[in-house]
Amino acid sequence: MSPPTSRAARRAATAQRILSAAQAEFGEHGLDATTVRAIAARAGVDPSLVIQHYGTKNDLFAVATRLEGDAGDGDVAEHLFDVLDVRLGELPPETRALVRSMLTAPEAAASMKAFLDERVANLTRAAIGEDAELRAALTVSSILGLTIARHFLSLDALAEISDDQVENVLRPWVTAALGPERR
């Protein structure tokens, strides 16, 4: 593929390189230990371009860790299975960066809380029963715990999960938030 030729295309390509480099750096080192110089070096640009494109390191962190996602109008159980598949596989760089930084950087904690609160609200709307919100919060928290234990702590029991274990143990566990009528 040939390099971008227009000024706008080159600028967009540089911004994307910086963003990808930032996600990798934040994912490996967290917000506090990542420097603008390290991001710039990884992106192959001058540090001034990082600031020019994204402002401060904290502004770049906010963009680099923005989590998207919505269950939509589809099958909630299938959405939860998709989430489980993502959390068991290689984490997206924005997720890795946010999880690594959420306990040490208030910006990351606020971002993660907002994202998880939204996930709980969405799951609560799809669940049945008086305790739907609690079950939704427990499921969302458990998936976060699974993510941390597997990808950051490398918990032995979660290192090699078979397809049978996913089907027979993890899927029923994840869908418990839906209530017995919805599973």
Residue type, 58: N
> What is the per-residue pLDDT for 86?
80
> What is the per-residue pLDDT for 183?
45
Query: Which residue in the block uniquely carries the two structure tokens 């998936």?
Result: 143
> What is the per-residue pLDDT for 132?
86
Query: According to CATH, what is the number of the domain 7-64?
Result: 1.10.10.60
CA–CA distance, 40 with 162 (Å, rounded to integer): 40
Helix (H, G, I), strand (E, B) or coil at 133: helix
> What is the per-residue pLDDT for 67?
67
For the chain, give every domain's residue range: 7-64, 76-178
> What is the per-residue pLDDT for 71?
47
CA–CA distance, 183 with 170 (Å, rounded to integer): 13
> What is the per-residue pLDDT for 65?
82
Q: How many helices (H) and strands (E) does the chain have?
A: 11, 0
pLDDT along the chain (183 residues), means of 10: 77 91 90 93 94 90 74 64 82 88 90 89 82 89 91 89 84 74 50
